[in-house]
Amino acid sequence: MFLDRDGTLTEPRHYPSRPDDLVLQAGVGPPLRTLRRHGFALIVVTNQSGLARGLIDEAAVEPMHRRLRELLARHRVQLDGIYLCPHHVTGIVPRLSIACSCRKPAPGMLHRAADELGCDLSSSWMVGDSRCDIDAGHRAGTRTVLVGPRLLAGAAPTLHRTTTARALRAVASAESLPVGE
């Protein structure tokens, strides 16, 4: 299972740059634990253009990843990987200001994670709150879940739910897993 970070796994923040900026979405612990217990890898795939834009220092990335892992560990949930794209073509950091194959909606992060972790993309889900998340999932060959109050124009997710917790429970249900664990 591929999960977007900001606005999906964590509360939306405009260019979060400190560990304390990361706050888990309500209710995600139990369904993530259920999915993990039943064999799903949990992989975060996140665009972080704030790095290319000079809004986030590269030294802040690892403490933020550590914070995310700690927040999930409080719910007895372990991530299998965190993949990020630091690129953006209009950035100000020259080496990161490029067109790349990893920035969602491109499927590069999903392909890399699948290759490194041995995931079957056709059996996977991409859960996110934006059209680029859904498009990345489609391009990688996963099923998709859009999280948010309404269906976005042009998005064609497999499922749509208003919250991440509901989205994760819908995936568990679609996979015939016990939803109430």
Q: Which residues does the annotation mark as catalytic?
A: 4, 6
Per-residue exposure over 51-77, b if at least 16 CB sit within 10 Å of its own CB, e if not: bbbebbeeebbeebbebbeebbeeeeb
Bridging pattern class, strands 143-147 and 81-85: unpaired
Bridging pattern class, strands 125-128 and 81-85: unpaired
Nearest residue to 18 via CA among 54, 62, 49, 52: 62
The answer to whether the beta carbons of residues 6 and 127 sit under 8 Å apart is no
